[in-house]
Amino acid sequence: MSAAVEFEDVSRHYGAVRAVDGVSFAIEDGEFFSMLGPSGSGKTTCLRLVAGFELPSSGRILLQGRDASRLPPYQRDVNTVFQDYALFPHMSVRENVEYGLRMKGVETARRAREVEAALEMVALSGFGARRPGQLSGGQRQRVALARALVNRPRVLLLDEPLGALDLKLREQMQVELKSLHRRLGITFVYVTHDQGEALSMSDRVAVFDRGRIEQVDTPRNLYTRPRTAFVAGFVGTANVVGGTLARRLTGSERPFSVRPEHIRFAEPGGDLVGVEGTLLDVQYHGAVSRSEVEVEGGALLTVSLPNADGEAPGPRAGQAVRLAWSRQAMVPVVEG
Partner 1 sequence: MLRALSTFLYRRPALTLLLLLGPALAWFAVVYLGSLVALLIQSVYTFDDFTMAVTRDLTWANYRALLDAANADIVLRTLGMASAVTLASAVIGFPVAFYMARYATGWQKGFFYVAVMLPMWASYIVKAYSWTVILAKGGVAYWFVERLGLLPALERVLALPWIGGQSLSTSNLGRFLVFTYVWLPFMILPTQAAIERVPQTLLQASADLGARPVQTFRTVLLPLAFPGVVAGSIFTFSLTLGDYIIPQLVGPPGLFVGAMVYTLQGSVGNVPLAAAFTVVPVLIIAAYLIAARRLGAFDAL
Instruction: Please state, in angstroms and rounded to a whole number, the distance separating the CA atoms of residues 63 and 6.
Output: 7
Question: Least CB distance from residue 277 to partner 1, whole Å?
Answer: 50
Question: Least CB distance from residue 147 to partner 1, whole Å?
Answer: 7
Q: Which of 19, 23, 35, 51 binds partner 1 (CB under 8 A)?
A: 51
Q: Which of 37, 42, 56, 100 binds partner 1 (CB under 8 A)?
A: 100
Question: Least CB distance from residue 66 to partner 1, whole Å?
Answer: 17
Residues in contact with 285: Cβ distance below 8 Å, sequence separation at least 6, in sequence order: none
Rule CB under 8 A: is residue 79 a binding residue for partner 1?
yes
Q: Are 325 and 277 in contact (CB under 8 A)?
A: no
Q: Which of 38, 55, 66, 72 binds partner 1 (CB under 8 A)?
A: 72
Binding segment toward partner 1, per CB under 8 A, in 73-81, 209-217, 227-235, 255-263: 73-81
98 vs 217, which CB is nearer to partner 1? 98
88 vs 247, which CB is nearer to partner 1? 88
Q: Which of 84, 120, 253, 271 binds partner 1 (CB under 8 A)?
A: 84
In the three-class reduction of DSSP (H, G, I as helix; E, B as strand; rest coil), residue 258 is classed as: strand
Question: Least CB distance from residue 143 to partner 1, whole Å?
Answer: 12
149-188 binders of partner 1 (CB under 8 A): 151
Question: Least CB distance from residue 262 to partner 1, whole Å?
Answer: 43
Instruction: Please state, in angstroms and rounded to a whole number, the distance separating the CA atoms of residues 228 and 96.
Output: 44
Burial profile 111-149: b = 16 or more Cβ within 10 angstroms, e = fewer: beebbbebbebbebeebbeeebeebeebbbbbbbbbbbb
Rule CB under 8 A: is residue 141 a binding residue for partner 1?
no
H-helix or E-strand spanning residue 67: strand 66-67
Q: CB neighbours (10 Å) of residue 86?
A: 15
Question: Least CB distance from residue 99 to partner 1, whole Å?
Answer: 5
Could you please report the per-residue DSSP string of 168-229?
HHHHHHHHHHHHHHHHH--EEEEEES-HHHHHHH-SEEEEEETTEEEEEE-HHHHHHS-SBH
158 vs 323, which CB is nearer to partner 1? 158
Q: CB neighbours (10 Å) of residue 13?
A: 14
Rule CB under 8 A: is residue 104 a binding residue for partner 1?
yes
Query: In whole angstroms, how large is the CA radius of gyration of the chain?
Result: 24
Rule CB under 8 A: is residue 89 a binding residue for partner 1?
yes
Q: Which of 14, 88, 129, 317 binds partner 1 (CB under 8 A)?
A: 88
Query: How many CA atoms lie within 13 Å of 214's alpha carbon, on the beta-carbon side?
Result: 28
Instruction: Please state, in angstroms and rounded to a whole number, the distance separating the CA atoms of residues 189 and 169.
Output: 21
Binding site for partner 1 (CB under 8 A): 51-53, 72-74, 78-80, 82, 84, 86-90, 99-100, 103-104, 147-148, 151
